[in-house]
Amino acid sequence: MDKSFFIRNRNKLYDTLEDQSLTILFAGEAAHKSADESYPFYPNRNFYYMTGITEPKVVFVATKFGGKVSETLFIQRADPWMARWVGETITPDEAKEVSGVENIELLEKLESFIRSQLDNRVYKHLYADLEAKSWEFPAKPANKFAAEAVTAYPYLSIHNLYPVISDLRVIKSEEEIERIREAGKITADGIKYILANAKPGMKEYEIEAFFNFVLKSRGVTEFAFPTILASGYNGTVLHYSANTGTAEDGSLVLLDLGAQYQYYNGDISYTFPVNGRFTERQKTIYNIVLRCNQEVTKRVKPGIPYTDLNDFTIQFFTEELLKIGLIQKPEELTKYYFHHVSHSLGLDTHDVGSYRTDILRPGEVITNEPGLYIPEESIGIRIEDDVLVTNDGYEVLTTGLPRTVEEIESFMAEHNKNIKNK
């Protein structure tokens, strides 16, 4: 991503800030796992969105005073000894080139810089990303900093940037859309490789390995989320991710997976018969879900309430399941459909923002993922696409997959040697 993208994002943020304010954002650092091992590091997504920096411990500070904005990035001092063990840290020139921030300082100067600013200028506002999911949510560096700052400088008004940046992220730029599109393409290629190699009797994790191979061979090092690869009854559990079951002959395999491309995510749900042929009952349920997916897509356009998509899904499934006798009254639908049909997609798979209560706007990327789950028949089917809201309608970003019953069966018959040799 070019630094101009991050500069634009910061300028949009500055337009929302009060004068006489100080803003601080933290990249974060890897959480400790056990002994001398840490979990992999992932930069705070709001920090990345504003700076493009993907290294731990980096801190961004901006001041707005008299209408003038000043920016500073604080990075780690180079450590030749640690570089031999874990690699070089970002240099000042690299930090400038990535972020577009011209003033680069060492992290060890952060505290004195903040104290100097607050002691020598009359600041009224402190802005920080104070994300918190619940009262028990572990305090992040920004939350700790804000708590200490308001104790030392009680006249400061503390403002939470999390919802502000989150709402900025809802509307995607062309650069972001292209990365989501590429993530979807790689994800689709991984699914086709699964279709070409899966066979009855395989463990779910064996089938998953075909997807992993495609992603790694395409240079993708991270997944959008832990892969769901669920066969038979496991497919009726919404967030099943153990992937340890066996795909028995005659069972369906439900996939919910995604590649992460340059920090942007693809998200596709897909269902297929492991032996290459749907049963009549599986066809019936699959076609209901597919028609719902297609009809929801047609309804995507600017100006419609986001909630309308799920309202339509509930109405559609209710009518169809009453027709086939799976339910006897509308209130029984929640036994077989119990999640929302859509969520925003971007730097996070369940992307942030207040879109859940808004109307759709051009530039949003959302998922379309109706599903039906019938535990008593071991049938779980979900079909998901990633959809861009355009100026006058929609564009499906996840294309190139066989989707109809006939297309799936034909693809597997042609490309899967295990099916052809049966």
Instruction: Give the pLDDT of residue 140.
Output: 86
Q: Coil, strand, or helix at residue 253?
A: strand
User: Which residues sit opposite 270 in a β-bridge?
Assistant: 255
Residue range 223-261, pLDDT digits in tens: 999 999 999 999 999 999 999 999 999 999 999 999 999
Instruction: Give the pLDDT of residue 13.
Output: 98
256 among known catalytic residues: yes
Instruction: Render the burial of 77-116: b for 16+ CB within 10 Å, e for the rest.
Output: eeeeeeeeeeeebbeeeebbebbbbeebbeeeebeeebee
Choice among 32, 121, 239, 281 that is catalytic: 239
Total structural domains within the chain: 2
Residues 79 and 119 in one domain: yes
Residues 211 and 317 in one domain: yes
**Strand ranges inside 186-251, DSSP E:** 222-223, 228-231
Choice among 49, 193, 355, 373 that is catalytic: 373
* 187: enclosing H helix or E strand: helix 174-195
Percentage of the chain lying above the pLDDT 90 cut: 91
Q: Coil, strand, or helix at residue 398?
A: coil
Instruction: Give the pLDDT of residue 422.
Output: 54
Residues 210 and 96 in one domain: no
State the pLDDT confidence band at 32, using cuts at 50, 70 and 90. confident
Task: For 94-154, give the DSSP string.
Answer: HHHHHH----EEEGGGHHHHHHHHHHHS---EEEE----SSTTSPPPHHHHHHHHHHHH-T
CA angle 42-46-48, nearest 5°? 55
Residues 312 and 194 in one domain: yes
Q: Of 75, 68, 51, nearest to 17 (Cα)? A: 68
Instruction: Give the pLDDT of residue 392.
Output: 96
CA angle 263-268-269, nearest 5°? 145
Choice among 350, 406, 407, 414 that is catalytic: 350
Residues 191 and 157 in one domain: no
Residues 94 and 135 in one domain: yes
Residues 407 and 301 in one domain: yes
* pLDDT, mean over the chain: 95
Choice among 131, 208, 369, 409 that is catalytic: 369
Which among 143, 169, 195 is the end of a domain? 169
Q: Of 207, 216, 155, 150, nearest to 186 (Cα)? A: 216
Residue range 309-356, pLDDT digits in tens: 999 999 999 999 999 999 999 999 999 999 999 999 999 999 998 766
373 among known catalytic residues: yes
CATH of the domain at 17: 3.40.350.10
350 among known catalytic residues: yes
**pLDDT for 170 beyond 70:** yes
Choice among 125, 277, 299, 339 that is catalytic: 339
Tokens 């749900």 locate to 269
Residue range 250-294, pLDDT digits in tens: 999 999 999 999 999 999 999 999 999 999 999 999 999 999 999
Choice among 256, 348, 364, 386 that is catalytic: 256
Average of per-residue pLDDT across 76-99: 94
Residues 41 and 65 in one domain: yes
- pTM reported for the whole predicted model: 0.95
Q: Which two tokens stand for residue 369?
A: 């993922």
Q: Of 385, 347, 400, 408, nearest to 267 (Cα)? A: 385
**pLDDT for 378 beyond 60:** yes
- How many angstroms separate the CA atoms of 389 and 345, rounded? 12
Type of residue found at 101? V
384 among known catalytic residues: yes
Instruction: Give the pLDDT of residue 329.
Output: 98
Type of residue found at 368? N
Instruction: Give the pLDDT of residue 135.
Output: 72
Choice among 343, 348, 355, 364 that is catalytic: 343
Residues 37 and 184 in one domain: no
Residues 57 and 179 in one domain: no
Choice among 267, 320, 386, 409 that is catalytic: 267
Which among 169, 192, 212 is the end of a domain? 169
339 among known catalytic residues: yes
Instruction: Give the pLDDT of residue 36.
Output: 86
**pLDDT for 420 beyond 70:** no
More confident call, 149 vs 137: 149
382 among known catalytic residues: yes
369 among known catalytic residues: yes
Cβ contact 74:106 at 8 Å: yes
